[in-house]
Chain A
Amino acid sequence: MRGQDLLHPRPEGLYCPPGDFFIDPVRPVARALITHGHADHARPGNTAVLATQQTLDIMAIRYGATFAQSSQAAEWGKPISFGDCTVTFHPAGHVLGSAQIAVECGGLRIVASGDYKRRHDPSCQAFELVPCDIFITEATFGLPVFRHPDSKAEVAKLLRSVSQFPDRTHMVGAYALGKAQRVIKELRDAGYDRPIFIHGALQKLCDYYQTQGIDLGELKPATLEKGAKTDFAGAIVVGTPSSFADRWARRFADPVAAFASGWMQVRQRARQRGVELPLIISDHCDWDELCDTIDEVGAGEIWVTHGREEALVRYCELKQLRAQPLHLVGYEDESE
């Protein structure tokens, strides 16, 4: 069996003919396997959904209990058969519940990694290396300029700024699923025990993380008591990146705009967004980790998708590995 007979792109998403399912479809389909809960990968309206329990929970939080007609929870590493092929879910280390999906048929195994990261993250399961014949890798940060520093140092930078500018509100932009909880958890692990204020859009997902054993400490809504503008001076407020460009942000005392994202590596990106304090904290692999993963996974062929495919394909060429860009549309890395 050739690779493209087992999985190939269709307008709806990555399709598996022998199993008759799609992985992370961008349009509603009869059977969808979902890697993780980010909105560009997990969409409502599919008939049947298979995903990890946490991903199903997150989809229910985001889209309501009716996000699909039926859903099935996949257990880590436990094979599930569809026709002639077998699928297994393995931790991807991206956000809580995120999975790589291994698809096996006729002796050929392809791993669709979804989005993944190799770094330690106290808010989700650690990435598991799954040997395979063809590895599908993301390329969000697929350029040699992306080398994420230690996230502890980034959190320390934030805390230093908080003590240097105690009269200002530090507004940390972080995506609602995964990044926000990770930043909060890393702050707690760094010993920051004051209440952290959060934007309303984060509330349900933070509550959910807490029920899953991720202790985020005391979180308070960043709502305004009447006329008390200095309430947030010296505080850390976490919100979605878009909320800081919104009228909502006007309640804060002389804010320092911080943004937790792998994109913050490039100063001009930070400057364009008006970010004063970039925090290079990513839930994707950096360049070195993408390369290491390609080396370690032992696949003879690499498919590269959503991101900067050309550099990673070039890397594979230099390593004399077969590689091709896999043109999937509709993934906009909401996670960064």
Chain B
Amino acid sequence: MRAFAELLDRLVLTPSRNRKLQLMVDYFRAAPDPDRGLALAALIGDLDFPAVKPALLRALMSERMDPVLFGYSYDYVGDLAETISLVWPTGDDGAGTELRLADVAARLMAVSRSDAGKVLTDLLDHSAASERFAILKLVTGTLRIGVSARLAKQALADFGSKPVNEIEELWHGLHAPYADLFAWLEGTADKPVPQAQALFRPVMLSTPMGDTDHTKLEPSDYAAEWKWDGIRVQVVANNGTYRMYSRTGDDISGSFPDLMQAVTFDGVIDGELLVGDPQGRTATFSDLQQRLNRKSVSPKVQAEFPVFVRVYDILQRGEEDLRGLTFVERRKHLKAFVSTLDPARFDVSRFVSFDSWAQLDEMRKHPPHPIIEGVMVKRWDSTYVPGRPKGPWFKWKRDPYTVDAVLMYAQRGHGKRSSFYSDYTFGVWSGPEDAPELVPVGKAYFGFTDEELKQIDKFVRDNTIDRFGPVRSVRADRTTGLVFEVAFEGLNRSTRHKSGVAMRFPRINRLRWDKPTAEADRIETLQSMLDA
């Protein structure tokens, strides 16, 4: 338990992705089975202890501590699990005897609701504060330590020196505590053979088309299709099991019962999930977000935001694995296959014909539909290769949107950037023309060079008007301030931001030292993009 508790503590406070990976790999190396497998399940939110509820924790505390003192403590810390872990009356007395994560999990898993208080008390009595924190975080089920399933799989890949694709491919056939997986990764056993049906196939990804990449390519070797702005999905159906996976292999079937009803085939297809109707309207990414990450979806939402898949590839048809065929061959299969499916839920992504790169360049810059974000360019003779090989598939996006915004707040970065003000909140003008004020529209922390970072940092330090912890408020009025040209991929409506808009993927495109702040953009410019 101690090693797991320390891992959690370190992960919470380590911002760097690579360092998080290193912490996890080191843990997997040092911890025994089944502890490490249970830790893995906990990290990705796959452990559930239904007998323990927050009300039980509060009840345990009220038996042990003056409620006024507990109230002061909770107000100060702000997190129930952490507060209890710190104030639990045994202090660190219990630290002497080491609890195994496996024992803790087994006891909590087996306990009945009526005994849960007794068992939890016993566990907490025999732990030190950081172990108590780990136990309480486990039972309340919300680790919030910045580790995604994807990152955990990457750590496993690093640990076993295997491609992450192989782990993703196996993933849904494996279960905690993953002893077979660890044995294979350590080289002491063969690769596990998953028994489960409808497994995820690792996806093939594209690389961005660089400015001059296409000059070396022959247009007739490549197909082009529109790149629609939805989310990449893989629909898998075999032997009566039906699943839809995200690009990273998360099972998202549960959020889309309307679509899953139409999955009546046997095969694996790859496409873009969109809101709307294949024959009619394709709705925006904001509309799609109404459907994402929901555990249950009301009939009203299903009717208002119907989803469909615009299919662009087929990996398996019946029993036949098509991944070894060329793209042109797979597309023939795909056309025949999709023609038998519900046309309200599936259609085939159409090709864009072109004779020259210059012609395609024009088309990707001026797509015919607002929900198209460029073109995909794929070699006719490419086989379906998991990962991101350079050459067979390119994404060629339309140019990003840009807006001139004024730097308003700067926050210190982390790690290498902890002495730099490197995270910037910027705003545009709003309000009446004669008394405009800045309203924040986004935040960005990359897109500039190290040299530019130094310059911005100096500007921030020289123009600070207020400080709140790690954040500085920077002079920004009609005559002074720093203008950023901010690039972004799209705008969503937002009720969380005062400005009413939220940018997708904002980054600093250029520093406009030359531009007077009064000439930065107004909020109406952004609002008109929303309505488009």
Contacts and interface: CB of A to CB of B under 8 A. Distances in A.
Pick the most buried of A150, A244, A270, A311: most chain B CB atoms within 10 A of its CB.
Answer: A311
Contact of B415 (A150, A157, A255, A315): A255
B470 to A, nearest CB: 6
B66 interface: yes
A311 B12 contact: no
Contacts of A254: 415-416
Interface string B331-358: 0000000000000000000000000000
Contact of A245 (B12, B72, B415, B419): B419
B82 A267 contact: yes
B69 interface: yes
Interface in A126-144: 143-144
B87 A145 contact: yes
**Closest 5 interchain pairs by CB?**
A145-B86, A249-B419, A144-B87, A145-B73, A311-B72
A169 B124 CA distance: 35
Contact of B13 (A157, A164, A250, A275): A275
A211 interface: no
Given A276-B415, A310-B72, A314-B68, 9 more contacts: A144-B87, A145-B73, A164-B26, A244-B419, A246-B419, A270-B13, A272-B469, A272-B470, A276-B14
A308 B412 CA distance: 29
A266 B82 contact: yes
Contacts of B129: 147, 149
A199 to B, nearest CB: 13
B236 to A, nearest CB: 39
Contacts of A314: 66, 68-69, 72
B86 A274 contact: no
Contacts of A105: none
Interface string B460-485: 00000000011000000000000000
B77 A266 contact: yes
B125 to A, nearest CB: 15
Interface of B: 6, 9-10, 12-15, 19, 22, 26, 65-66, 68-70, 72-73, 76-79, 82-83, 86-87, 91-92, 128-129, 412-416, 418-420, 469-470
Contacts of A149: 92, 128-129
Contact of B418 (A146, A249, A308, A315): A249
Given A144-B69, A147-B129, A149-B128, A267 B418 contact: no
28 contacts: A143-B73, A143-B76, A144-B72, A144-B86, A145-B86, A147-B92, A157-B6, A245-B412, A246-B419, A249-B419, A255-B416, A266-B77, A266-B82, A266-B86, A267-B82, A270-B13, A272-B469, A274-B413, A274-B418, A276-B10, A276-B13, A276-B14, A276-B414, A278-B13, A311-B72, A311-B73, A314-B68, A318-B66
Nearest to B15: A276
B68 to A, nearest CB: 5
Nearest to A286: B91
Contact of B12 (A250, A267, A272, A274): A267
Contacts of B470: 272-274
Given A266-B77, A310-B72, A314-B69, A145 B13 contact: no
A277 B16 CA distance: 13
A66 interface: no
Given A244-B419, A255-B416, A311 B69 contact: yes
Nearest to B88: A147
A336 interface: no
Nearest to A254: B416
A145 B79 CA distance: 12
Contact of A145 (B15, B68, B77): B77
Interface residues of A, number: 40
B91 A147 contact: yes
A147 B94 CA distance: 14
B14 A145 contact: no
A257 interface: yes
A81 interface: no
Contacts of A274: 412-414, 418, 470
Nearest to B72: A311
B418 A257 contact: yes
Interface string A269-307: 011111111100000000010000000000000000000
Nearest to A273: B470
A247 interface: yes
Contacts of B72: 143-144, 308, 310-311, 314
A88 interface: no
Interface string A224-244: 000000000000000000001
A144 B416 contact: no
Contacts of A249: 418-419
A56 B317 CA distance: 86
Contacts of A278: 13
Nearest to A272: B469
Contacts of B418: 244-245, 249, 255, 257, 274
Given A145-B87, A149-B92, A266 B9 contact: no
Contacts of A165: 19, 22
Given A164-B26, A268-B78, A250 B419 contact: yes
Contact of A150 (B66, B73, B79, B92): B92
Most-contacted residue by chain B among A144, A278, A314, A318 (CB, 10 A) = A144
Contacts of B419: 244-250
Contacts of A268: 77-79
B464 to A, nearest CB: 13
B415 A266 contact: no
Contacts of A146: 86
Contact of A315 (B69, B128, B416, B420): B69
Contacts of A315: 69
B91 to A, nearest CB: 6
Contacts of B416: 254-255
B349 to A, nearest CB: 44
A310 B76 CA distance: 12
A287 B91 CA distance: 11
A265 interface: yes
A246 to B, nearest CB: 6
Contacts of B91: 147, 288
A271 B76 CA distance: 15
A112 to B, nearest CB: 25
Contacts of B414: 274, 276
A157 B3 CA distance: 11
Interface string A157-173: 10000001100000000
A149 B130 CA distance: 10
Contacts of A271: 12-13
Contacts of A157: 6
Query: By CB atoms of chain A within 10 A, which of B69, B73, B418 has the most?
Result: B418
Contacts of A144: 65, 69-70, 72-73, 86-87
A311 B14 CA distance: 32
Nearest to B413: A274
A234 to B, nearest CB: 15
Contacts of B469: 272-273
Contact of B86 (A246, A257, A265): A265
A47 to B, nearest CB: 36
A231 to B, nearest CB: 16
Contacts of A311: 69, 72-73
Interface in A184-201: none
A249 to B, nearest CB: 4
B66 A267 contact: no
B76 A267 contact: no
Contacts of A266: 76-77, 82, 86
